[in-house]
Structure 1
Amino acid sequence: MLSFIRRSSNPFFYYKPKLTAEKRPIIIYLHGGPESQSRASFNPLLQFLLNQGYAVTAPNFRGSTGYGKSYTHLDDVRKRLDAVKDVVSLVDWLKQDPAIDTSKIALLGGSYGGFLTLAAISHYPDLWAAAIDIVGMSSLRTFIQTTSPWRKRLREIEYGTVEQDGDFFDLIDPLNHADEITAPLLVFHGVNDPRVPIGESEQIVSKLKQRGHPVTYHRMEGEGHKIVKPENEIYVYSLVAAFLEKYMGCD
């Protein structure tokens, strides 16, 4: 069952699996962009998760398109963590739903959604049972410094520059708050990613492994910013299913 819910803060889609007597774990899916949006269209990964018995919600947090230019710019530069607050606010809303087991909430995001995932689990660590990061940025500072030159200027307009906003990057970057993370983490990154360099995943994975945190990392050979080879998609789906079952599986 799909519902679209327009709240005063941020709108979201709410997908529910077949009704059961048990409370269901839920996955919050965070789209990339941020100048993009989740829509009521077929998403094979979300459908797969629903078939596994998980509820799924897909918010259009501040910075998403489709709700006017002012909304799209509500997360610009030093407003970055306001989008994370939208995700936290969604958790507060979910706690009112008796069908949801709010001790089992996972985050899943790719690219910018991966950054939001890492930011949420590092700045609000007590809310999450698990998290999945796909080609996400772990540091805006190092991302701006290493992304492809053709993207750097475009991204600086959205995120800010190291010269003017480096102090803010250092304050919010998940990499600098890795010691606060408590949720088990699954990470995927394409070796040939020209947008978000693979070092963004490897540096935070390294930090987490140094402190013995449960983190699983998969370098995707022959893949770029998106996982497009069918055999790799099947591989990723199977790993996601096993990871979620381990840490917050449906009873």
Structure 2
Amino acid sequence: MAELMARLDLNAYEAPRTTGAHAHEEGQLFALRAGLQLIETSAGRWVLPPGWIGWIAPRCAHAAQSHGATAGWSLYLDPALTTALPAQPHVFASTPLIRELVGRLVSLGEEGEAARRLRLVGVLVDELVAGTRTSLHLALPQERRLLALATALADDPARDDTLEQWADRIGMARRTLTRRFAAETGLSFAQWRQQARLLKAVQLLGMGEPVTAVALTVGYSSVSAFIETFRRHFGCTPSRFFAQGADTSR
């Protein structure tokens, strides 16, 4: 029987990096203790703030873009070890146990006992799958005109164009836009716009921008309205949200 592979790499880059569409034969778990990363596939975008744990399935084509200097780790897993993990990219919240497991894997190094490494990986995967699901994903529609709309709004979510204005701009009836957008993203247009604003907010907050500036940048008229919307969506305030993922990388 072929030996299962689980390889952990530590990495640090002083400058932002952009990686075009590519895929790995292995699955990849990864986290940053500094910097922020955006992952994109044909199905959507994911934001990886510092301290949270990203996942990319084997042979999943994706592009990546980092912001600022980054440092963290990547754990490459044999496909046989990843069957319980999602088929699409995902971002997991960390826990004290998950942080301890990652620390043990780092301390083992490349010379550590392979069987022990695999046991630790098994527990790590179990903990990730059993953990709280957090929506750090923005679904993208596939239809050409809807994708153009979604891309423009995701890049600048403070735009306050109405649904009617967007329908006129892309040459689609309002009712058709409403129906097809929901069918392709799983969200109503209003829900999707809010998700786009919150994901952009997480990106900016993760880059160190102050809450007041972020609230205005993503289209909220007041800081209190932004914090309340953030709390309803993620279950905590922005400061608590980032504390949840603290110290994932060692």
The TM-score with structure 2 as length reference comes to 0.30
Which structure has more relative contact order (CA 8 Å, sep 6+)? It is 2
The TM-score with structure 1 as length reference comes to 0.30
User: Radius of gyration: which is bigger?
Assistant: 2
Whichever structure has more strand as a proportion of its residues is: 2
